[in-house]
Amino acid sequence: MTPDISQNPGAEPASALSNARKVPDISKIIDKIGPLLGLFFVVGLFTALRPTTFPTIDNAQLILLQTAVVAMAALGMTLIIVSGGIDLSVGSNIALCTVSIALLLAKGVSPLLAILGGVVTGMVCGLLIGLLITRLKLSPFIATLGMWGAVRGIAKGMANEQTVVAPETWLNSLLNTLPDNQKWMIFPAGVWMTLLFALFVVLMLRFTRFGRHIFAVGSNEQTARLCGVSVDTTKLAIYVLAGAFAGLAGLLQFSFLTLGDPTTATGMELDIIAAVVIGGASLSGGQGSILGTLIGALIMTCVANGCTKMELANWVQQIVTGGIIVAAVTLDRFRHKAT
């Protein structure tokens, strides 16, 4: 008998397989829109509890403003977590970037160059993390735990342990509520920036080789290496890119504060990680999406905002947020068990 790959008698007919694809798999759909359902639930809950103050256009604007910083930094964190890493230093990095932007502005540098300075600062921090991980073979947790302290220290040193006052420029209004003559913009510039960069990352993850390599490295580093993926270069690029997003988040944070503050964004790294995880990413890598991350960030802001509207004390908000993180990940595990 002449063996022929195309005439294997033991093969399943391909048509039977393609039929299965036509039936929508309900658990798969829930899997995709799980975080979105969570957002609807949170919004619905507060709408029911505070029908006059929560579901207003002004409040929706406010929620978006409050989400922008975390969401911007979470874009980078998503890349890192999908690749199987973690960055605990991003809050410190954001603070350092607000300081460098403020210092540059105070020196009389143009706002655009100051932005560039902030982003480069973030990228240098990212490059350092990447080098620690790829050259010294430190685990991302340890490398960024070290950077968490060191970068915060550098920020305080550069700012002389006080806030850095900057002259007023258009950078201060990126996250202001829009005045009446600019209502046509719908959202403030900072929110548009976040959305644009989110779209950029979505496209990058979906349509570029680098994007798929991020998933491959996170899913199985050894397989990626076997397949000729340059694992170290990929990781380095991920941390540098995430550093750039930390720089942009620093810009938004600066705009919010209108000054450079070396103690700002303390603990924000955990909010950022939480947004990514609520959005369905797996801390063991290989899994996660930008849309999920944005929704995760929105869920967290909605909860904080809604609790404020209900005049709940800050400590209640923190308990609720903690509960949501645990619940989101638990639900995620159930969803994956079901499939």
Partner 1 sequence: MTSPTPLLEMRGIKKRFGATIALDGVDLQVAAGEVLALVGENGAGKSTLMKVLSGAHAPDEGQMILGEQNYAPKDPLEARRRGVAMIYQELSLAPHLTAAENILLGVEPNTGGVLKRGEMQSVARDALNQVGLSHVSPNTQVALLSVAERQLVEIARAIALNSRVLVFDEPTSSLTQRDIVRLFELVKRLREQGQAIIYISHFLEEVRELSDRFTVLRDGRSVGGGVTSQAKNSDIIAMMVGRSVEDLYPRSVREPGEVVLEVEHLQGAPKPQNASLQLRRGEVVGIAGLVGAGRTEFLRAIFGLDAVKRGKVTLGHFTGNATPAQRWNQGLGMVSEDRKIEGLALNLGINENLTMTKLPAFFNPAQRDKEATTWADKLFVKRRAVTQPIGDLSGGNQQKVAIARLLYHGCDVLLLDEPTRGIDVGSKTEIYRVIDELAREGRAIIIVSSYLPELLGTCDRIAVMCRGVLGEAKPIAQVTEHSIMVEATGTEVHAAEIPHAEAA
Q: Select the residue interacting with partner 1 from 21, 58, 183, 315 (CB under 8 A).
A: 21
Measured over the CA atoms of residue 266, residue 260, residue 152 and residue 329, the dihedral's sign is: positive
Q: Does 26 bind partner 1 (CB under 8 A)?
A: no
CB 229 within 8 A of CB 215: no
Judged by CB, which is closer to partner 1: 181, or 222?
222
Q: Select 107 or 333, whichever has its Cβ closest to partner 1.
A: 333
Question: Which range of residues in 16-24, 66-74, 141-149, 252-260 is near partner 1 by CB under 8 A?
Answer: 16-24
Torsion of CA 27, 33, 39, 42, to 10 degrees: -10
In angstroms, give the least distance from the CB of 215 to partner 1: 6
Amino acid at 283: L
> Can residue 15 be called a binding residue for partner 1 (CB under 8 A)?
no
**How many CB atoms are closer than 10 A to CB 266?**
14
- Binding of residue 137 to partner 1 (CB under 8 A): no
Residues near 177 by Cβ (< 8 Å), separated by ≥ 6? 58, 61, 62, 65, 188
Nearer to partner 1, 13 or 179 (CB): 13
Determine the Cα–Cα distance for residues 235 and 83; give it in Å rounded to an integer.
8
Least distance between partner 1 and beta carbon 234 (Å): 12
Which value, to the nearest 10 degrees, does the dihedral of the CA atoms of residues 166, 167, 168, 171 take?
Answer: -50
Q: Does 135 bind partner 1 (CB under 8 A)?
A: no
146/166 Cα distance (integer angstroms)? 29
Q: Which segment (35-43, 90-98, 127-135, 202-210) binds partner 1 by CB under 8 A?
A: 202-210
- Residue among 39, 103, 166, 229 that touches partner 1 (CB under 8 A): 229
Using CB under 8 A, pick the residue from 56, 110, 223, 314 that binds partner 1: 223
Q: Under a CB-based contact definition with an 8 Å cutoff, are residues 96 and 120 in contact?
A: no
**Binding stretches for partner 1 (CB under 8 A):** 1-6, 8, 10-12, 14, 17, 20-21, 206-210, 212-213, 215-216, 219-220, 222-230, 286-287
